[in-house]
Each structure stands twice: as structure tokens, then as C-alpha cells.
Amino acid sequence: MRILVLGAGAIGGYFGGRLAEAGADVTFLVRPQRAARLAATGLVVRSPFGDIARPVATATAASDAYDTVLLSCKAYDLPSAIDAIKPATRAVVVPLLNGLVHLDALDAALGRARVAGGASYIAATLWQDGEIRHLNQTHRIAFGPRDAGQRATLDALAQACARASFETQHRADILQAMWDKFVFLTTLAAMTCLMRANVGAIVATADGEALMRACFAEARAVADAAGHKTGEAAIAEALGMLTQRGSAFTSSMLRDLESGGRIEGDHIVGDMVRRARAANLAAPLLQAAYAHLQAYMSKRPGASAA
């Protein structure tokens, strides 16, 4: 199994690095500048589960030599990411992006038969020095087929992942997993960005926990309407994180916003708002959060709300 990882940023670098650490055949598809840095320093990851500092294989252009592509990029970089991986014509693409709407773009560009489902569960960031910093105690990926022809390749990927030191879920119901994460992440991003605060600060206010639960209920209603009802276990896990007293947990979207960077507001919160409207569902908290994100983006020169 030959694995191509798009990029060596926080998500791709972490999971690709763990796979390489376990002996998998991994190549990172990166820009020349990143390739030069990796050649000089190796891939460096700082994590509660053990650091990585190792040389890795890189490429600056894709080819048809790979069985699987792990696609991890920000939503606003998806068009260029699709162009970059198109030469990997026989590979099954496992997208680890947030949300759902990217599946439509990938299906249109590559064909549904090549696009599996996937999700990542980790808080990580790419530091200015090129190191990847793992910020929490979670490191899990989930993937599964959206087409019967993908099963053999994903079985082989699951075997490679089983040797790596992160958690893996190889799921037949991968779309449900993606919806569960979409509901949770939309709530987290909407509320932390709207309040400009972490979970602990929000729920410490008089109405913070009630508002967090109300926002979560809005997102769950959209999933229910789409035929992907959030299960009780997923609800309990999500609310445990969204209402934990004293928690420093926040969204990467808030970190990006506070640094003045681009955000995935349209791809995450905006997409949930559009789905709510299409289903004739009231979502006032999500709408307020999306308006807030759009206002932020309108102040960034040359940027859109995406």
C-alpha cells in the first residue's frame, strides 16, 4: 500500500507521520519550500503521545503510483488541492476535511467511485517553525467506502493504520460519522467564534451552557432532517466536550480568526445554515454566528466569506 498525503500540515503531517513511524510507505505531496524544510529538519511533531523527528519522503508533483491519497487541507484550498492530486488517477481519495460539502466538489472533479468518506479527530496546529503541535489527548481518524469498489483499498489502509499509534475507525456508515462530527464542529465553531471565547469561559456565564445546548440542537435538527440522526452516544460525547466546566477547548476556526487569517466559515457554519433553510428549520444562533463570520471576512482585504 502506497500512501500519498497531501501536505505536511497539522492534520496530514500528524497522521502521515504516525503512519511513516509505523513503517508504512508514505509520501508527502508538498510545495517546494516545505519540501526543502522537511529535507533539512525532517518531520517534527510534538505530541502527548510521543514526539516524532524523522526524515520523510516528499514529492512536489503527484503521479499514478499511489493506492490512497489522504487529503487534508483547508476548505478554501480545496480547488488547488484537487488539481494537485488529479495525477494520482488510480488512488482512492480519503478526505479528512471538516464538514460535508467538499464531497460534491471531489465527486465532480474525480468521480464518486474514487472518493471515500473520512474524518479526523485531533486538535493540532502547524507552528511557525514548521513543527506540528498536538494540542489535546485525541488522535483518531475514521474512513469508509462510499462505493463498493473502494473496499479492498480501504481494508489495506486500515491494516496500515492498525500498526500506527493513533486510533482508527473503519466504518461502513462513514457518512453518519461525518454528520456527527459536522454537527459537533459546527456548534463548537459557531459558539466559540460568536462569543470569542473557549468552552469553559462560555459555559461559566449565566446563559452560556443553555445557548451552547440550543445551538447544538439547531445543528442536530439539520442532521435529523437529512436522515442522519445523531445517536445518543454521539450526543453524550459532544455535549460532554461542549459544556465542560473550566475547559480551554476551542475551535481551530477561532484560532484562525484571532490571528487574522482565513477561515472555513462558509464551508462549516454557512453550509449548516443553508441546509437548515432548505429544510425550513429555524436556526437563529447558527445564523447569528454565520453573520458574525461573514462580517469578519468582509474586513479582510481581497478575501471572501469562505
Catalytic pick among 74, 86, 181, 229: 181
H-only helix segments in 207-251: 208-225, 232-242
Instruction: Give the count of alpha carbons within 13 A of 192, CB side only.
Output: 25
Cα-only R_g, the chain: 19
Asked if 131 contacts 44 with a C-beta cutoff of 8 angstroms, the reply is yes
Question: Phi, psi at residue 44, to the nearest 5°?
Answer: -120, 125
- Three-state secondary structure call for residue 227: coil
Instruction: Clarify whether 299 is annotated catalytic.
Output: no
Tell me phi and psi for residue 118, to 5 degrees: -165, 160
Sheet (strand 68-71) strand order: 57-59, 25-29, 2-6, 68-71, 92-95
Single-letter residue type at 215: C
Please name every residue paired with 144 in a beta bridge, in sequence order, or none if there are none.
117
Active site residues: 181
